[in-house]
Structure 1
Amino acid sequence: MADSLFNEIYNPDVLSCLANLSNDEVFTPPEVANAMLDMLPQELFSNPDTTFLDPACKSGVFLREIAKRLISGLEVQIPDLQKRIDHIFHKQLFGIAITELTSLLSRRSVYCSKYPNTEYSVSRFPDVEGNIRYKRIKHTWQDGKCIYCGASQKEYDRDSLLESHAYQFIHSGDKERVFDMKFDVIISNPPYQLNDGGNGKSAKPIYQHFVNRAKLLKPKYITMIIPSRWFSGGKGLDDFRKEMLSDRRIEKLVDYENFKDVFPGVDLAGGACYFLWKRDYNGMCEVTNFDKSKPLTSNRYLDENEIFIRQNLAVKIVKKIQKQNKYYLNKKVSSRKPFGIPTNYPPKENGIPCWFIQRIGKKYADKKDIIDNNQLLNKWKLLVPKAPIAGQTDFTKPVGFYYDGNIRLAAPGECCTESWIVAGAFDTREETLNFKSYLFTKVVRFLLLQTVVSQDVTKKNFCFVPDLRKYNITFTDEYLIDLWGISKDEWNYIDSRICNIGGDDNG
């Protein structure tokens, strides 16, 4: 009875189970791999000459699912099953593993044997690798960084028994190509980041190197699943964001704000996306995003705004408000470290009153350490935390940015560390409080949300929030709805995305 129950009712895909195991290497669930394959022209799987490459094999799921489609699609052209399998595995499917362990796992998934030169392989090869290669290589150091991936020499120039994370696909020049051939399709879920040797758990993105390298090979199609943080740029991603948003060859983009909707059990702020890049395409992009698991699709240019707006429903609202305004708060909000004082600055016994992280509160800074190039010190200031939504990674849920408990009203003569940014500086306390009421409206916080793909908020995230220039009244959502002609349906959508304000007023 137990055997029958297990075989007939509970028969999980081992790669689905594996996809839930670890945050270190994010394995792709088979259903996600198939959703990516569905974007490709399906006639590719009926062509015995189509070639596929996964340059970052982990579980082998992409090659395995492609093999299934080819075995079905080539049945008429190659009727003999064994000949068909041999042709597919020897002539059409290729992979580069990211570690020795994943090379064994991938071969086991694809060839049914981690050593394809044995009798247990569904298709025999003359060597132990088959067409899923792995070679341990070294970083190429220059001035303490790898010239290919930017890895820190301090972190990764290590013992040969430890993993170097020098991924072969992005550490090889044209003369060192793993496979001396052209590929029609490059498909992958590349590694996402490397420790960069900074404070704490500081890491730098690496997935952009896989995308850029794939483009250099000029395949007909590229589809990869990567974190969505590139939408707004940031550490190591500014040039990549600019190039991707302006690339008219990206035919489709599917975006999930909640990373767990794609990779159950894995949590990463900003969500994930996968795309279809088509070499011979030049046009608008079909953007699909998921709202409460329902796909919403529209066709648009990805670079129509400086920062990509994820939600299709939000695009109309942002455009409506943009048409009515000329000035925006990204020009008013301060840069990080507004007074030149770092987060780890030790409080002084006396000096200039200074706001530190929330648990420390207001202490003192030495006057000689303060930089006031923008003449903010002698103004009334609204201080907002640079990480107002720390701990929240799922932006599909109602999001709260600013409330009375996490902002500070700084009087003239007071400064702050880089734990805060100055959202606005004014001559009077009344203006500052009016500006605070504006920032606390759901409409404004909704406009801010459209630029957020991580827990940090900087001045660039205010690029869709109008600067009204005069703050001589207490602002409400009702006032802004009337001012900008926001419809009832638009308001209902805004209201569903932003939580109510809570906390105690310290102003």
Structure 2
Amino acid sequence: MSIAQGEGRKRVDDRHGQSGKVTFSLGGHNPDVLTCIANLSNDEVFTPPVFAGEMLDTLADAWAEAHDGRSIWSDATVTFLDPFTKSGVFLREITKRLVDGLAEQMPDLQQRVNHILTRQVFGIGITQLTALLARRSVYCSKNATGEHSIATGFDRPWGNIWYERTEHTWVNRKRVRQANPLTGDDEVVEQVGTGRCKYCGASEAEYSRDEVLETHAYAFIHTDDISSRLAEIFGVNVHFDVIIGNPPYQLSDGGFGTSAAPIYDKFIEQAQRLHPRFLTMVVPARWYSGGKGLAAFRSAMLHDRQIVELHDFPDSRDCFPEVDVAGGICYFLWERGADRDCTVVTHTGTHTSSSVRPLLEQGADIFIRQNEALSILRKISAVDGAHRQDGSLTLEPDRRFSALVSARKPFGLASNFRGAMTETAPNDVMVVQNGGTSWANRSEISAGRDLIDRWKVLISYTSSEHAGQADKNGQKRVLSRVEVLPPGTATTETYLIAGSFESRTQADILVQYLKTKFVRFLVSQLVTTQHVTRGSFAFVPIQDFTRPWTDADLYAKYHLTEDEIAFIESMIRPMELDDNA
């Protein structure tokens, strides 16, 4: 039986003059309607059915391993929750598998369907629209008690897929002193529109909305007691064995332009408070090494030995064909009570690699994405890490190229700085900015003044492509603009400075070094957004810049094998010395 395509279902009962035995006839629609739905945004992404199926296969294998080979789909007691359902694809695919798996235990199809939908499968919609869509996907009707619903066991139209509008709880509003308009007395009042949500951090100015607009106050995370809240929602105290889904990714944080803060971490932490047997979610991979406010979350995830499997997609298009999520996508499987290394599976185009290893390698403070990169990083550490014998990936502090890279805004000039069109004084500084150059008086330079009169190497703060994205050959450029700046120059925060010298010759050597595939491969291991920062160079070793370096020189210095060289060459596309576009 396929609950998926309910358009062709016909329910026959005594009211239609038949025997009373319920039968189902399901049409096999092609394509699956859930593959045709446009995403709400890059922040609320619909999960393709095939990808949801892969996540469920991973879950089923882990369940069988933990239960002496028994199938999760043949267990009538296992409960499932998607607490942020959109299309309903996870609940639909779970239901399909349970219908098949429980057939022997429950031969009567209607009884089996009712049991699954009323006692095993639960969801919370993130908006009114997605709740209706999910019910249509799972019950074949937006009304679980309607005549077209495949379930006959509900007494409420929403069945077990709930949605009600939730409001944010505003706190930390600015307090201002003003005169009471009636009494004239001085008083302190909260300034409406200046607060943030207690639960998700949303900006009141952005998300305090009337009833016409969605609040994006997701019920699952807007509570101090999630267990009690779920019991209140569903009318029964259910312990969920499996929590699964694809949460919203971020919310605008009220900052400049398109500034947004991640929110998916809050869904993961809330789900863990329910102590499920298994938890699996698909989320952006940016948490590996970046993300606003994710430092504590990242540390907790990387140290959590209950994460037993991680599937990494550096290019989000490999799993969400129509969606470009900077830094890629991953899904993980968390098993309560486990204590073991993680099976890390990296998916790059048609290539897949798998390795059982800790999420946090010794000496690293971020997740190393590519399994093949580990042996290369260890060899670099062996040469430039004071001959460490403990397998640590850490370079000695004085060997890390990141020490030579400036912080953001190296000269204190914002990206929107616009100086004079021409030099107005002999001591003016030429400023390289996005789209060209201008001139500034030295007094306007508030940082990096010691760099102004040196030869220096400029690199773009923004990567040449979204992190993780490769060209049609599967190769990435990583760094965009890399060039020498002469004395008497500065830059806006659009650029970083990656080293400075007294001579032009050494600056040219550094440019050559940064353009090697070797260096750009190492940078790519740490770039999970479209930005290249000082920290992106933590794995790059400092060299002797009195002599030039080529890839062949570097491969030989670090004793890379033919396979390791081939891997780097396959990942990074050429960048000519005169190529700065």
User: After TM superposition, is the score higher than 0.5?
Assistant: yes
The aligned counterpart of 1:415 is 490
Secondary structure, aligned partner of 1:492? helix
Secondary structure, aligned partner of 1:32? helix
In the alignment, is residue 491 of structure 1 matched against residue 565 of structure 2? Answer: yes
Alignment partners' CA distance in 1, 2:203 and 2:418: 28
In the alignment, is residue 190 of structure 1 matched against residue 247 of structure 2? Answer: yes
Give the CA deviation at 1:23: 4.3
In the alignment, is residue 151 of structure 1 matched against residue 202 of structure 2? Answer: yes
The aligned counterpart of 1:307 is 366
Q: 2:156 aligns with which of 127, 134, 143?
A: 127
Give the CA deviation at 1:24: 6.0
The aligned counterpart of 1:3 is none
Alignment partners' CA distance in 1, 2:468 and 2:478: 13
Alignment partners' CA distance in 1, 2:31 and 2:483: 52
Give the CA deviation at 1:8: 9.7
Alignment partners' CA distance in 2, 1:142 and 1:377: 45
Alignment partners' CA distance in 2, 1:205 and 1:228: 11
Secondary structure, aligned partner of 2:129? helix
Alignment partners' CA distance in 1, 2:99 and 2:579: 65
Secondary structure, aligned partner of 1:324? helix
The aligned counterpart of 2:35 is 16
Alignment partners' CA distance in 2, 1:233 and 1:130: 40
Q: How many residues align?
A: 496
Give the CA deviation at 1:240: 1.9
Opposite residue 445 of structure 2, the aligned amino acid is I
Q: Is the 8 A contact 2:114 2:151 kept in 1?
A: yes
Alignment partners' CA distance in 2, 1:504 and 1:241: 39
| CA offsets 1:468-504 (integer angstroms, 9 cap, x no match) | 2x31011111111111111222111111111111474
Give the CA deviation at 1:381: 1.4
The aligned counterpart of 1:160 is 211
Q: Is the 8 A contact 2:327 2:467 kept in 1?
A: no
Opposite residue 136 of structure 1, the aligned amino acid is R
Alignment partners' CA distance in 2, 1:413 and 1:294: 48
In the alignment, is residue 372 of structure 1 matched against residue 417 of structure 2? Answer: no
Alignment of 1:289-438 (within 5 A): 289-304=346-361, 305-325=364-384, 326=396, 327-348=399-420, 350=424, 352-361=428-437, 363-372=438-447, 375-390=450-465, 394-395=469-470, 397-402=474-479, 406-438=481-513
Q: 2:265 aligns with which of 203, 208, 224?
A: 208
| CA offsets 1:207-252 (integer angstroms, 9 cap, x no match) | 1111111111111110001111111122232222221111111000
Q: 1:73 aligns with which of 101, 124, 128?
A: 101
Q: 2:224 aligns with which of 162, 173, 186?
A: 173
Alignment partners' CA distance in 2, 1:382 and 1:419: 14
Alignment partners' CA distance in 1, 2:444 and 2:118: 66
Opposite residue 339 of structure 1, the aligned amino acid is F
Greater relative contact order: 1 or 2 (C-alpha under 8 angstroms, separation 6 or more)? 1
Secondary structure, aligned partner of 1:355? strand
User: Higher mean Cα deviation, 436-445 or 406-415?
Assistant: 406-415
Alignment partners' CA distance in 2, 1:133 and 1:415: 57
Alignment partners' CA distance in 1, 2:28 and 2:115: 34
User: Structure 1-normalised TM-score?
Assistant: 0.93
Give the CA deviation at 1:287: 0.5
Q: Is the 8 A contact 1:116 1:129 kept in 2?
A: yes
Q: Is the 8 A contact 2:415 2:434 kept in 1?
A: no
In the alignment, is residue 115 of structure 1 matched against residue 143 of structure 2? Answer: yes
Alignment of 1:239-278 (within 5 A): 239-278=296-335
The aligned counterpart of 1:218 is 275
Gaps of 5+ in 1: 1-6
The aligned counterpart of 1:136 is 165
| CA offsets 1:273-295 (integer angstroms, 9 cap, x no match) | 11100012111000001233132
Alignment partners' CA distance in 1, 2:145 and 2:499: 68
Q: 2:44 aligns with which of 15, 25, 28?
A: 25
Secondary structure, aligned partner of 1:235? coil
Q: Is the 8 A contact 1:48 1:74 kept in 2?
A: yes
Q: Is the 8 A contact 1:20 1:263 kept in 2?
A: no
Distance 1:161 1:19, change over 3 A: closer
Distance 1:333 1:488, change over 3 A: same
Distance 1:505 1:77, change over 3 A: closer
User: Higher mean Cα deviation, 407-416 or 318-327?
Assistant: 407-416
Q: Is the 8 A contact 1:249 1:278 kept in 2?
A: yes
Secondary structure, aligned partner of 1:79? coil
User: Higher mean Cα deviation, 316-325 or 58-67?
Assistant: 316-325
Q: Is the 8 A contact 1:270 1:395 kept in 2?
A: no
Gaps of 5+ in 2: 1-25, 65-70, 173-194, 385-395
Q: Is the 8 A contact 2:249 2:262 kept in 1?
A: yes
Q: 1:229 aligns with which of 280, 286, 301?
A: 286
Q: Which has the larger radius of gyration?
A: 2
In the alignment, is residue 104 of structure 1 matched against residue 178 of structure 2? Answer: no
Alignment partners' CA distance in 2, 1:359 and 1:378: 23
Q: 1:462 aligns with which of 511, 520, 537?
A: 537
The aligned counterpart of 2:58 is 39
Opposite residue 389 of structure 1, the aligned amino acid is S
Identity %: 45
| CA offsets 1:397-422 (integer angstroms, 9 cap, x no match) | 2111346xx23422334221111111
Alignment partners' CA distance in 1, 2:28 and 2:121: 32
Alignment partners' CA distance in 2, 1:242 and 1:259: 23
Secondary structure, aligned partner of 1:491? helix
User: Structure 2-normalised TM-score?
Assistant: 0.81
